[in-house]
Structure formats: C-alpha cells, structure tokens
Amino acid sequence: MPGLIEFRNATYRIGERTILDKLTLSVAAEETLVLLGRSGSGKTTALRLVNGMILPTGGELLVDGKATANSDLIALRRSIGYVIQESGLFPHFTVEQNVGLVPQLESWAPERIAARVREMLQKVSLPPDEFAQRFPRQLSGGQRQRVGVARALAADPKVLLFDEPFGALDPVTRLDLQREFLRLRAELGKTSVFVTHDVREAIKLGTRIALLDAGQLRFIGAPAEFLACREPEARAFLEVFEDAQ
Ligand SMILES: Nc1ncnc2c1ncn2[C@@H]1O[C@H](COP(=O)(O)OP(=O)(O)OP(=O)(O)O)[C@@H](O)[C@H]1O
Ligand SMILES: [Mg+2]
C-alpha cells in the first residue's frame, strides 16, 4: 500500500548545490517518522517539500497519492498541521485566534470555531478559561509550544509536521511535551513527520527513524534497528546517546 507521504527520488537543488539527493521513503498512515540528522543535513527542507512550500527539482513528492507539483498548494498547506521551534504563533493574535486560524480561513461558523478551539486547548492541557484570551508573550515557552500543537491540530489535518518543536525547552518541560505527544498520538492516530537532532527524542517518539546526512538517506528503520546500525553517521549519533547513559 502506498504511504500517505511518499518521497520518490525527491531531489532539491539550489543552483549547483544539492540540498536533498534522490530521497525515497514512504510514511504510512498513523506512523511517526522521525527525521534525524545534523544541522544542515536537509531535515527542514524535507518538511518544506511535504507541505509544498518548495517543490522538488527532481523526482516527486506525493501526499495522499497526489504529487505536490500538481496540487492546489493552499489547500495542501491547510490540510497539514505544522509545528515549529518557537511555535510560530502570531504575536498580535490571542491564543484563541491563533488556534482558530485555519478553521477561520476555511470559513467555519464562529460557534464551531469557538468550540473547536476550546476542545483543542483542553487536549494540550491548557484550560481554555485561563489561556484562550492571552497573547503569546503572556505564555511560557512550553505553553507556547502547546498552543502551536493545538493550532496544528485544529482543522483535523491528515498530516502533522514537527520541526524541532521541543528543541528550545528545558529538559523537564521537554519530557512533559514528549509524553503529551505520545498520548495525543495514541488518542488521535495522526500521521506525523518529526524532525529532531536529538537521538533520544528520535528513539522515544519515532515508529521509524530516517537518518539524513548531507541530503542523503543513510538509514531508515525502527528504533531498535537504529540502535544496532553500523553505518558511520548512525554510530556518530549513537555515541552521543551512549555517552549520555
Ligand atoms: N533557501 C536556501 N538557499 C540556500 N541554501 C539553503 C536554502 N535553504 C536551505 N539551504 C541549505 O540547505 C542545507 C539544508 O538546510 P536545512 O534547513 O534543510 O537543514 P536542517 O537539517 O533543517 O538543519 P538545522 O538542524 O540546522 O535546522 C543547509 O546547508 C542550508 O544552508
Ligand atoms: Mg532545520
């Protein structure tokens, strides 16, 4: 069965530089594929290909069987929830307005938006009566990331993309949000691509791990297989992991 997201020899070049080189991988429904790699390995570029912010310069990227190059890109982006580091919330919108953004763009009725916003805030453990009317600057970093997750989930997207969403948080808050992610995944069964350069986070959250190195896929497999992988770039990451044990 084809995956919900398919990279088929997907290549992305800027001028003479190859940022992603013939990437082929498939993300199955309800899977969390973690993209692991050092800074500059092409992780964010891969996410941007999925939501059609950029189009492959070679090969194809399919979402739900349809090549992004032939898709309505606005509709595609609204069907995908995107969570980034520092949450990417609009500073002049309240929490409620931020979470309701895509439903608003999709012209949902106001009562339906309000109900959905409350539901989503509860899901990410932010009581709406306390948080809905605040502005992002009135939240802690961890709370902002929760709002970012609520916003990504609000329009019930098929696919969620996470770009180092917990990278800037203290370790305790980070663990909290990782647990929340696993709980929400069990509850909602969403398909996600999750970018991190933290090998422990990759092992904890990934149903599979894809290791990128200088735009190339070096490994893809379950966390247990990754732990046994002999590939040099995988070993480099695993040494960090073993060092921390
Ligand atoms: N618009 C652009 N113009 C030129 N080079 C770019 C552009 N976007 C990305 N790159 C280059 O492509 C490479 C991959 O970038 P990308 O942002 O995908 O890396 P990353 O794996 O997400 O890194 P990080 O962990 O630091 O976020 C980098 O070397 C980057 O400098
Ligand atoms: Mg990046």
Number of domain units in the chain: 2
Query: Which of 13, 16, 44 has most ligand 1 atoms within 8 Å of CB, for mutation?
Result: 44
Element at 125 (helix H, strand E): none
Shortest-distance Cα residue to atom 13 of ligand 1? 40
Query: Both 194 and 75 in a single domain?
Result: yes
Q: What is the DSSP track for 195-216?
A: EES-HHHHHHH-SEEEEEETTE
Which among 125, 157, 189 is the end of a domain?
157
Which among 137, 157, 177 is the end of a domain?
157
Residue 81 tokens, joined: 């929830």
- The model's pLDDT over 195-241, given as tens digits with 9 standing for 90+, comes to 999 999 999 999 999 999 999 999 999 999 999 999 999 999 999 87
Distance 17 CA to ligand 1 centre (A): 11
> Domain with 32 in it: what CATH number?
3.40.50.300
Distance 44 CA to ligand 2 centre (A): 4
| Cα–Cα distance measured from residue 39 to residue 57, given in angstroms and rounded to the nearest whole number | 22
Query: Both 23 and 128 in a single domain?
Result: no
Ligand 1, residues at Cβ distance < 6 Å: 14, 19, 37, 39-45, 197
User: Would you say residue 6 has pLDDT above 70?
Assistant: yes
**Which residues constitute the domain of residue 7?**
1-79+161-245
Which among 121, 137, 157 is the end of a domain?
157
Query: Both 177 and 195 in a single domain?
Result: yes
Phi and psi at residue 63, in whole multiples of 5°?
-120, 120
Position 1 scores a pLDDT of 63
Query: Both 15 and 118 in a single domain?
Result: no
- This prediction has a pTM of 0.94
What whole-number percentage of the chain has pLDDT above 70? 100
Shortest-distance Cα residue to atom 9 of ligand 1? 45
- Neighbour tally for 36: CB within 10 Å: 27
| Cα–Cα distance measured from residue 47 to residue 138, given in angstroms and rounded to the nearest whole number | 29
- The model's pLDDT over 39-56, given as tens digits with 9 standing for 90+, comes to 999 999 999 999 999 999
Query: Both 153 and 165 in a single domain?
Result: no
